[in-house]
Structure 1
């Protein structure tokens, strides 16, 4: 093995995923993309929004099950599990995650594409539940949104391989539980609420009342020191000082730690390293951005020259033909 090719959020851009794998030197063998000397690590968020969700899931799942890839759970896989899981009677509602207009919109494209394949969708959900929340391999770490060592240590005490179960899933919808804190931090990262009455009208069409904060500033002082998303803060809020409470909620990943790979944050432009030992691989593929990989071959110091990407063409939005899904 020469190393790993880590691939960011696919979000249903299945045709571009196939093209990226071919660019990286992977070729189909018996319906599975393989490389003679390398393996893939998917950073989660295979589903939602894009036009070839089933294709993206099929490619990734086959690779994982045949030992050609690893994967960590993204917040969209978690959302699907909670949205489609019936709540225990004591909850007093039908579903773990409310079927609200916002939640309906997030998962709509996925459910539409699996509508004629209900058995396949149930099987995919069972696979999602078996995906670990993090990976710690020799020389590198992988998580979808945020590596919080204390929460990962707590999770390991009850779930050593990072895989959750139905009881953990059910507990995770209660903000007062440890299960909620683990899933929220590892798959969604840190969020700082905006002042009352202030909103961000995001490029993905959602209105947000908080912003995503990163976790590699050693001594952050202002909101601008930790914001990590393409949407700017309104007015002069980047100069606003972090309160002690806000600062205490932030995780920290220092430069002395091993290389870490994350997705989630829908960056834009030419891929770059936000920190010397951290690579974010989500470059807004589903918004005609880039589907990005990092070719890691054991280096302790990451190198931006190791990014490989493909721009997602507008024709990716066309609905796939049947043989693009059932490609074997």
Structure 2
């Protein structure tokens, strides 16, 4: 279990994806105020659930706010799959691998990281420092009474990670090993930062709103006795109608992990929820509400409760002008 400084509570914040001005607004709504360039609260701390970067208009601002808070002891953070992707995209592969980069620079991978690289283009030293900082951020956190991971808490894989790295962080050797299919490193990174996936039946695919065509579907990990695909699929993109009632095979069921209702409260991001924040289970909160798609940037105010309450969600709607004009706090911050 991670050691944490005393705090009366934690404010857990979902996927920011470069909506830096909205992050500042949410922190202000939560009662945090800037002091010497750091957002602080008199008796609470923040936990960021990862995916600070990519897609949004103010990525540097989002990273600066979070990094300054973490380094000042006012916040904690776990890595999201987008931070992991950026690390792999920007580090060269071992010469023996036959590849130039750990994450190949394919058109799709280029598109995902483009906004981040563009916004750091004139700040190469800052970007390198940001990548170095990502390597100091753990994949998961466990404090007294709560757990935090970007996508999925799988106890067996968390135990394997901590057996290798007590701080639950990764290094470049771990990252390189994770690029080889079938390794422990690959299983750990994939499950903790990307969650459960089911491969769609032959001949089926999902057409996402962003234009991507997917051959897998994200599956959640809290259904007690799932029987069908509809029982476990957890993503905004609609499934083909014939899949909702399709029985899960024994092999598919074996691939899914399960987080029981008697385990400590767990906070995740990653899943592109929509609408009014709600709890998928009494002890699980997902805080990714599609901020970068003009959804909501969502926090949960946790004060030690074992049973979570939807009354503790706090959010800011992401305005269309997040992409257009600088906010006063952004100017002041810089």
Secondary structure at 2:267's aligned position in 1? strand
- Structure 2 unmatched runs, 5+: 1-6
* Partner in structure 1 of residue 85 of structure 2: 79
Secondary structure at 1:146's aligned position in 2? coil
Cα deviation for residue 232 of structure 1 reads 1.5
What's the TM-score once normalised by structure 1's chain length? 0.98
Query: Is the contact between residue 13 and residue 285 of structure 1 (CA under 8 Å) also seen in structure 2?
Result: yes
* Partner in structure 2 of residue 264 of structure 1: 270
Aligned with residue 242 of structure 1, among 230, 240, 248:
248
* Partner in structure 2 of residue 100 of structure 1: 106
Secondary structure at 2:101's aligned position in 1? coil
Cα distance in 1 for partners of 2:293, 2:180 equals 32
Report whether the alignment pairs 1:137 with 2:128: no
* Partner in structure 2 of residue 121 of structure 1: 127
* Partner in structure 1 of residue 3 of structure 2: none
Cα distance in 1 for partners of 2:54, 2:257 equals 28
Cα distance in 1 for partners of 2:274, 2:80 equals 19
Cα deviation for residue 323 of structure 1 reads 8.6
Report whether the alignment pairs 1:196 with 2:182: no
Aligned with residue 302 of structure 1, among 287, 292, 308:
308
Q: How many residues align?
A: 328
Cα distance in 2 for partners of 1:205, 1:61 equals 32
Query: Is the contact between residue 266 and residue 285 of structure 2 (CA under 8 Å) also seen in structure 1?
Result: yes
Secondary structure at 1:236's aligned position in 2? helix
Cα distance in 1 for partners of 2:60, 2:325 equals 11
Secondary structure at 1:286's aligned position in 2? helix
Query: Is the contact between residue 16 and residue 291 of structure 2 (CA under 8 Å) also seen in structure 1?
Result: yes
Cα distance in 2 for partners of 1:29, 1:321 equals 18
Cα distance in 2 for partners of 1:321, 1:34 equals 19
Cα deviation for residue 199 of structure 1 reads 1.3
Query: Is the contact between residue 54 and residue 325 of structure 1 (CA under 8 Å) also seen in structure 2?
Result: no
What's the TM-score once normalised by structure 2's chain length? 0.96
Cα distance in 2 for partners of 1:92, 1:326 equals 47
Runs of 4+ more than 4 Å apart: 319-323
> Structure 1 residues 322, 175: CA separation in 2 closer, same or farther (over 3 Å shift)?
farther
Cα distance in 2 for partners of 1:240, 1:300 equals 34
Query: Is the contact between residue 31 and residue 327 of structure 1 (CA under 8 Å) also seen in structure 2?
Result: yes
RMSD: 1.3
Aligned with residue 49 of structure 2, among 43, 47, 50:
43
Query: Is the contact between residue 260 and residue 277 of structure 1 (CA under 8 Å) also seen in structure 2?
Result: yes
- Structure 1 unmatched runs, 5+: none
Cα deviation for residue 318 of structure 1 reads 2.1
Cα-to-partner distance string for 1:211-233 (whole Å, 9 max, x where unaligned) = 00000011111000000011111
Aligned with residue 230 of structure 1, among 236, 249, 259:
236
> Structure 1 residues 239, 105: CA separation in 2 closer, same or farther (over 3 Å shift)?
same
Aligned with residue 280 of structure 2, among 242, 251, 274:
274
Query: Is the contact between residue 200 and residue 207 of structure 1 (CA under 8 Å) also seen in structure 2?
Result: yes
Cα deviation for residue 155 of structure 1 reads 0.8
Q: Which moved more, 1:58-67 or 1:199-208?
A: 199-208
* Partner in structure 2 of residue 68 of structure 1: 74
Report whether the alignment pairs 1:88 with 2:94: yes
Cα distance in 2 for partners of 1:189, 1:302 equals 22
